[in-house]
Structure 1
Amino acid sequence: MNTFSFLPELNRLYDFNWRHDQIIPFGSGHIHHTYKVIDGQDTYILQRFNKDVFKNPEIISHNHELLIKYMDYLNLPFRFPLPIVNVLGFTLSAVREDFFRISPFVAGVCLEEISEPSQAYLAAKAFAELILAGNNLNVQEFKEVIPGFLDLELRFNQLLEAIDQTKIPIEGEVKTLVDFFLSREYLVGEYKTWKGKLPIRLTHNDTKINNLIFSEDLKSVKAVIDLDTIMPGYVFNDFGDLVRTVACTQGENSTDWSEINVDKSKYDSLHQAFIDVGQGIFTQEELNSLHFGGKMMTCITGFRFLSDYLNGNIYYQIKYGEQNLHRAKNQMMLLKSLEKLEL
């Protein structure tokens, strides 16, 4: 589809009169094509949906429409910019072979990394409050967006399959990483144990720091965004991904191995926020599971990076041939640091 050739049909679906010159590329996301649209006093985010990553967009639309229906019950202390419905009553609009959606734009600061523990606390508090808000809803009504997305047992089995089928020699650094992640099978057993104890809640499942919009002074969270992966899950998933992406001293693409560690002050701030928000609401077992979450989410990401490397780099975007191998090593170093952490 030519750039913006979809616009006449999109305008009809939303009763808008947008022009090409109002639409500009926006953000640095790797999943959807995202644009900012300025329409007089109103500003919107327009996205062309990536069907290659999310194979069943109607499931995301179903979950979002449920959230819109129950918005008054969420009682959130920040904005929650769900897609707006079109004239047909749907949040996802089919235009020829593509899907589009439009959301309100929230002005503020989107961070790529946290500089202070206080910011880590605010981030974790916001994601914990989102889980808490979902406590008012029937989680069974929501559907799983990506089956097995955060299933550690499934990801371990996928790693075994990748090892069995790879054409890459299992030697040297590759063997070191394969041996390390295979030796973490015990975490799969812990995962299955926690699953048997914990309630399923409505969780964000992608709690990276750039999925929040902060106020200009960085003293509050104005909005939680990137809502595609909201679905039934476990509290430790959201906490664990915060640990993996916020409390690590290096980003997941860093190859400065000796500098990859856990920032204990940020870790403690993340943990305290979940305790403060969840006390009396989350079960004691859920609170006890949080420390497992950091290790679990780091391990599952390592499984996935290593599997992708062994499979020929077919999922994650790479800039050089060994990047997924190095990403897996990065996660190995972080997991080792988490395992040494005194909690």
Structure 2
Amino acid sequence: MELKKKLATIFQQFQTEHTFKGFETFNSGHINDTFLILTQEEVNYVLQRINTTVFKKAIDVIHNKIKITQHLSKKGIQTIHFIPTKENSYSLIDNDNHLWNLSEFIENSQTFLKVNANDIAYQAGLITAEFLAQTSDFENDLVETLPNFHSMSFRFQEFQNALNATSKIRKQKAQKWIDFALANKKEMMVLDRAINQKEIRLRVTHNDTKISNILFDTNNKAICMIDLDTVMKGCIHFDYGDALRTICNTTDEDEVNVSAINFNLNYFKNYTEGFLKSLANNISKQEASYLPISIQVMTFIMGLRFLTDYLNNDVYYKTKHSNHNLERANNQFSLVQKIREQQHEINSFVKSTYMSSCH
């Protein structure tokens, strides 16, 4: 009841003409707390509390979201619509110093936690690439709200710091994957090197393209990208690789049965076809050449982050038990190995699809 009262109080401070009735909790996010606000008039909203421990520049997170959604709206592209407060700000700070923002709920929409059909993978590729294409001309500067978010060198530095400070027990439990991470360090720096050498360019990217961050209509057609908290400058490989990391994993992210983990090639092919169709001539041949390896890199970096948080006693991600982050790391690193087994076919398919889609 206390949470309901608090959410009602916060909701009433935004510019809506609707009366709070109740709420439902969205549970798919690792970081922020998100609620579906139900009103007496049956017009629903999405109320989000930004995790200010993770997002040190939480106000800038909201400003970035507003800039990008307004840019898309001006082009007539369907996107999230944010609601200002009664004081004409898009963010609200409560008495506990938590930061909130409110957006309209898009009716007759749905999200998926897992892909269960080829057409959903294809639609996901279409909409992710459309977001990249339609924001490629965005000229205003976005604030880097999570510095070095997908920087492999930065993540290895964090990992090394955690390794140096971790307990003997945690280190022993994680030794297999500590060794795996160190053995693959050089190869996994490939995107960092390509960015530094200006072989691939930086542009607006979503930076968290898991399937649950895409809104679909009731006919399974993709509507738009959601959860724009991580929107900032990056390379398309971050979005492409991270999407396939989640879409093509045959298990949940914390599945402990390694034999069940595999990389779904059919979903990869459908996603890639949609992605390259939407991106069309907004991607160079050189950029395309790095797409295949980005799937390994983005899966590896996620495994490294889970492993680092485990070594750090679980200070970043929400966990359900003491080995949760280690199990997630085990899952992601095992998926890297499965991707490698099919890397030749992945390379060939991306190359042929790029040639047919973009020229």
Is TM more than 0.5 here? yes
Structure 1: 5+ residue stretches without partners: none
**Residue among 201, 204, 207 paired with 2:206:** 204
Could you tell me whether the CA contact under 8 Å between 1:37 and 1:46 is conserved in 2?
no
* Residues matched between the structures, number: 337
Could you tell me whether the CA contact under 8 Å between 2:202 and 2:233 is conserved in 1?
yes
Q: Does 1:65 align with 2:66?
A: yes
Q: Deviations over 1:181-221 (max 9, x none)?
A: 11111234312222121111111111111112212122x11
Measure how far apart 1:56 and its partner are.
1.6
Q: Deviations over 1:237-277 (max 9, x none)?
A: 01111111001111111011012111111111122222212
Q: Match for residue 168 of structure 1? A: 168
Could you tell me whether the CA contact under 8 Å between 2:163 and 2:171 is conserved in 1?
no
Measure how far apart 1:49 and its partner are.
3.0
Q: Match for residue 89 of structure 1? A: 88
* Larger CA deviation: 266-275 vs 121-130: 266-275
Q: Match for residue 268 of structure 1? A: 269
Could you tell me whether the CA contact under 8 Å between 2:303 and 2:328 is conserved in 1?
yes
Q: Match for residue 34 of structure 1? A: 35
* Larger CA deviation: 268-277 vs 148-157: 268-277
Q: Deviations over 1:106-161 (max 9, x none)?
A: 132211111112211101110110010101211x5111121111111100111111
* Structure 2 CA distance for partners of 1:178 and 1:254, relative to 1, 3 Å: same
- Read off the aligned partner of 1:57 and give its amino acid letter: A
Distance in 1 (alpha carbons) for counterparts of 2:323 and 2:42 = 47
* Structure 2 CA distance for partners of 1:7 and 1:325, relative to 1, 3 Å: closer
Q: How does 1:140-151 map to 2 (within 5 A)?
A: 141-151=141-151
Distance in 1 (alpha carbons) for counterparts of 2:153 and 2:175 = 21
Q: Deviations over 1:84-122 (max 9, x none)?
A: 223433211223333222111013221111111221110
* Structure 2 CA distance for partners of 1:130 and 1:39, relative to 1, 3 Å: farther
Q: Match for residue 288 of structure 1? A: 289
Q: Match for residue 309 of structure 1? A: 310
Distance in 1 (alpha carbons) for counterparts of 2:295 and 2:317 = 21
Distance in 2 (alpha carbons) for counterparts of 1:121 and 1:188 = 27
- Read off the aligned partner of 2:51 and give its amino acid letter: N
Measure how far apart 1:177 and its partner are.
0.9
Measure how far apart 1:45 and its partner are.
1.5
SS in 2 for 1:190: helix
SS in 2 for 1:42: coil
SS in 2 for 1:276: helix
Could you tell me whether the CA contact under 8 Å between 2:129 and 2:276 is conserved in 1?
no
Q: Deviations over 1:252-306 (max 9, x none)?
A: 1101101211111111112222221222111222211111211111111111111
- Identical aligned residues as a percent: 24
For normalisation by structure 1, the TM-score amounts to: 0.91
Could you tell me whether the CA contact under 8 Å between 1:37 and 1:45 is conserved in 2?
no
Distance in 1 (alpha carbons) for counterparts of 2:9 and 2:155 = 43
Cα RMSD after superposing both structures: 2.2
- Read off the aligned partner of 1:213 and give its amino acid letter: L
SS in 2 for 1:261: coil
* Structure 2 CA distance for partners of 1:227 and 1:242, relative to 1, 3 Å: same
* Larger CA deviation: 271-280 vs 7-16: 7-16
Distance in 1 (alpha carbons) for counterparts of 2:64 and 2:200 = 22
Q: How does 1:13-162 map to 2 (within 5 A)?
A: 13-14=14-15, 16=17, 18-19=19-20, 22-30=21-29, 31-40=32-41, 42-76=43-77, 79-96=78-95, 97-107=97-107, 108-138=109-139, 141-162=141-162
Distance in 2 (alpha carbons) for counterparts of 1:75 and 1:200 = 24
Could you tell me whether the CA contact under 8 Å between 2:45 and 2:104 is conserved in 1?
yes
Structure 2: 5+ residue stretches without partners: 348-359
Distance in 2 (alpha carbons) for counterparts of 1:159 and 1:74 = 42
